[in-house]
C-alpha cells in the first residue's frame, strides 16, 4: 500500500493496479484459429433419449448444437494475450481497450447454467446400481461408455440414460483429446441417478478450463499451437456478453427470451471474426465493457465463488469498476489509482441521471464495504459531502454545470461553472498524484503501458462482409468507429458435434 507524503502515519487512498503480461500494443499477434480438431459422434448415440436429456441441466448447452454457432479462436487468443497478473488463483483477469474484466466461476455459471455450488448428498449414494464390472478399471474413455451403452439390455432405459448423460458430460465439459482416460469417480457418480443429476459438474468444468488458461498464459501464446481443455465456448460467450460491441458485430441474439434464461440460451448465431476486426472494436472510442454481468432472475447461484487469495487492492478495484469507473491510459501508466478521485468521478457521472439522495446512499454504502482509509489532507466523506451539497444546490437552482479543470502548484482544481453564466461556485481541490512526464517515461518497466494503439496497421478503405443474422445496420455501427480490416468472414461449418479438444494450430494468414 502506498503512503501519503505528508503523513506516513495516515494510510493512503491509492491502490496498485494489476501488472500486464504484455505492454499495450505488444501482445503476440500470430494468427491462430481455434478449431475443433477431434470430434465424437457421441450426440447421435444418445438421440433416443434426447427428450429427457434436453430437459436436464445439459439442456441449455445442447440447444446450441442445433444453431449456427462458431467458436472464435482468434477472439479468445486476443483476450488471453491481454491477461493481467494478480494474486488470485481462481479468477483470471484481462483487459480490453484498457478496461479490466474478470472471468470467475460466477460468469461461467451464468453462461452455461451448470451447477457450480458444491453439492453434498443427503444420503450415501448407491455403490453399484448397474452391472458395470467391465468399467471397474481406474480409468475409461468415452468410447468405452458408448460401447457399454450399445451392449446394454434393450429395456435398460435408466442405465442407457445414465451412460448417455455421462458420455455428453465427458465430451462436452471435460474434453481433452480423443484417447483421454477419465477417472473412475465419473463412473461411480453415474451409478446413482441423484448424484449424476445434482453433482457440481460445472465447478469441475470451470476448474479444468481455468487450469488450462493459466498454463497457457503467457508461456504458450507465442508458440505454433496450443490447446485449451474443457469448455472454452463458455469463455467466448462471456466475452460477447461483457463487450456489447463484440456481441452486436459478431453474433445474433434472441429478443424473445425469458429473464430467467441462462446466457447461452439467447444466442442464435455466432461468427468467427479476424483479429483485425476484434482490434477494430477495441480501438473504438465508443467501446464499453460490463465488468459485472447483471444477475439472472431467480438464479440461486448468483453469488457462487471459489475461495481465493486475499488481494485488498484488487477487491477495491473490483468495487470501483462495478460501480461504473473506467480506467484510463493514465491510470495504467501511473500503475495506481486514487480511490478518492475515482469516487468523485463516479459521483459526478452518477448524478447526471440520479438524484442526490440516491448518490448519498451509494457513496455511504461504498465507503463502508470497501473500508477505504482516510486521506491525510481531507476525509473521503468530506469530499463526498461536498459533492452531495453541490448536487443539491444544482437541483435547488435548476441549473446545469460545466467544469473547468486548471493545474496549479498545489495540484488540479476543478471549478463548476453555471452554463451560460460567468459565475463560479466554490470548487474542491483534486490532489495530484502525477509525476513529471519526463521522468515517468524513463521509469517505465516491462509491465507498464507503452502504447494504447495496436502495432499492426489496419488498412484504410478496405471492406469486409459479416455473414451473420444480425442486422447490417447494427454491424456497421459496431465496426465503423475505427478503420475496417481487409478480410472477409465466412459462415463456416456450424459446430454441431461435441468436441473433446480445442486445438489452436498456426494459421498461414488471417482470413
What was the pLDDT predicted at 385?
57
C-alpha span between 295 and 132 (Å, rounded): 42
What is the torsional sign of CA 113, 119, 123, 129? positive
Indicate the SS3 state at residue 418.
strand
Residues 379, 381, 385, 391, Cα dihedral to 10°: 110
Q: What is the DSSP string of 252-309?
A: EE-SS--TTS-GGGGEEEE----HHHHHHHHT-TT----SSPPPPTT-TTTT------
C-alpha span between 281 and 97 (Å, rounded): 9
- Domain locations in the chain as residue ranges: 14-18+313-442, 30-298+487-504
Residues of the chain under the 50 pLDDT cut = 1-10, 33, 35-41, 368-378, 399-403, 405, 411-412, 414, 416, 418-472, 476, 480-511
Q: What is the DSSP string of 325-370?
A: ----HHHHHHTEEEHHHHHHHHHHHHTTTS-HHHHHHHHHHHHHHH
What was the pLDDT predicted at 388?
56
What was the pLDDT predicted at 46?
54
Distant-in-sequence contacts of 209-218, Cβ < 8 A, 24+ apart? 209/108, 209/234, 209/235, 210/90, 210/92, 213/80, 213/92, 214/92, 216/80, 217/21, 217/80, 217/83, 217/92, 218/21, 218/22, 218/81, 218/83
C-alpha span between 142 and 148 (Å, rounded): 10
CA nearest neighbour of 304 among 108, 57, 116, 111 = 116
What was the pLDDT predicted at 334?
93
What was the pLDDT predicted at 495?
37
What was the pLDDT predicted at 124?
72
Indicate the SS3 state at residue 14.
strand
What was the pLDDT predicted at 364?
56
What was the pLDDT predicted at 153?
85
What was the pLDDT predicted at 178?
75
Cell 473500508: give the residue. Answer: 371
Q: Is the pTM of this model over 0.75?
A: no
Helix axes 105-112, 201-216, angle to 10 degrees: 120
State the DSSP H helix or E strand holding residue 501, giving kind and residue range, or none if neither: strand 498-504
Amino acid at each position: 500500500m502506498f503512503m501519503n507524503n505528508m503523513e506516513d502515519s495516515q494510510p493512503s487512498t491509492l491502490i496498485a493496479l494489476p501488472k500486464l503480461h504484455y505492454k499495450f500494443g505488444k501482445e503476440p499477434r500470430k494468427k491462430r484459429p481455434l478449431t475443433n480438431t477431434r470430434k465424437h459422434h457421441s450426440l447421435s448415440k444418445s438421440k433416443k433419449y434426447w427428450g429427457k436429456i434436453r430437459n436436464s441441466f445439459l439442456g441449455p448447452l445442447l440447444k446450441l448444437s442445433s444453431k449456427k454457432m462458431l467458436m472464435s479462436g482468434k477472439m479468445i487468443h486476443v483476450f488471453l494475450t491481454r491477461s493481467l497478473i494478480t494474486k488470485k488463483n481462481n479468477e483470471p483477469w484481462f483487459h480490453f481497450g484498457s478496461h479490466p474484466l474478470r472471468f470467475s466461476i460466477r460468469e461461467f455459471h451464468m453462461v452455461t447454467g451448470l451447477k457450480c455450488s458444491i453439492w453434498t448428498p443427503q444420503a450415501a449414494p448407491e455403490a453399484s446400481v448397474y452391472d458395470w464390472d467391465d468399467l471397474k478399471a481406474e480409468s475409461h474413455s468415452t468410447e468405452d461408455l458408448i460401447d457399454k451403452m450399445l451392449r446394454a439390455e434393450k429395456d435398460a432405459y435408466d442405465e442407457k440414460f445414465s451412460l448417455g448423460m455421462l458420455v455428453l458430460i465427458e465430451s462436452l465439459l471435460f474434453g481433452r483429446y480423443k484417447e483421454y482416460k477419465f477417472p473412475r469417480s465419473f463412473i461411480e457418480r453415474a451409478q446413482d441417478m441423484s448424484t449424476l443429476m445434482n453433482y457440481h459438474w460445472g465447478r469441475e468444468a470451470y476448474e479444468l478450463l481455468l487450469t488450462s488458461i493459466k498454463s497457457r498464459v503467457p508461456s504458450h501464446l507465442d508458440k505454433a499451437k496450443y490447446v485449451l481443455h474443457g469448455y472454452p465456448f463458455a469463455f467466448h460467450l462471456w466475452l460477447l456478453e461483457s463487450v456489447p460491441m463484440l456481441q452486436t458485430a459478431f453474433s445474433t441474439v434472441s429478443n424473445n427470451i425469458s429473464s430467467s434464461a441462462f446466457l447461452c440460451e439467447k444466442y442464435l448465431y455466432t461468427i468467427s471474426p479476424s483479429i483485425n476486426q476484434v482490434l477494430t472494436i477495441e480501438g473504438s472510442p465508443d467501446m464499453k465493457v460490463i465488468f459485472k454481468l447483471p444477475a439472472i432472475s431467480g438464479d440461486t447461484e448468483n453469488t457462487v465463488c471459489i475461495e481465493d487469495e486475499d488481494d485488498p487492492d484488487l477487491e477495491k478495484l473490483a468495487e470501483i469498476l462495478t460501480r461504473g469507473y473506467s480506467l484510463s491510459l493514465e491510470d495504467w501508466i501511473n500503475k495506481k489509482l486514487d480511490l478518492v478521485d475515482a469516487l468523485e468521478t463516479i459521483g459526478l457521472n452518477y448524478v447526471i441521471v440520479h438524484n442526490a439522495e440516491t448518490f448519498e446512499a451509494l457513496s455511504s454504502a461504498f465507503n463502508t464495504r470497501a473500508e477505504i482509509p482516510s486521506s491525510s489532507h481531507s476525509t473521503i466523506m468530506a469530499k463526498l459531502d461536498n459533492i452531495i451539497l453541490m448536487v443539491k444546490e444544482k437541483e435547488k437552482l435548476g441549473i446545469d454545470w460545466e467544469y473547468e479543470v486548471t493545474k496549479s502548484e498545489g495540484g488540479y482544481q476543478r471549478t463548476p461553472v453555471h452554463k451560460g453564466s460567468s459565475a463560479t461556485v466554490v470548487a474542491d481541490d483534486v490532489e495530484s498524484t502525477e509525476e513529471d512526464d519526463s521522468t515517468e517515461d524513463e521509469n517505465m518497466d516491462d509491465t507498464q503501458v507503452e502504447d494504447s494503439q495496436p502495432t499492426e496497421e489496419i488498412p484504410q478503405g478496405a471492406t469486409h462482409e459479416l455473414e451473420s443474422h444480425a442486422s447490417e445496420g447494427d454491424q456497421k455501427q459496431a465496426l465503423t468507429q475505427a478503420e475496417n480490416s481487409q478480410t472477409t468472414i465466412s459462415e463456416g461449418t456450424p459446430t454441431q458435434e461435441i468436441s473433446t479438444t480445442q486445438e489452436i494450430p498456426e494459421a498461414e494468414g488471417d482470413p
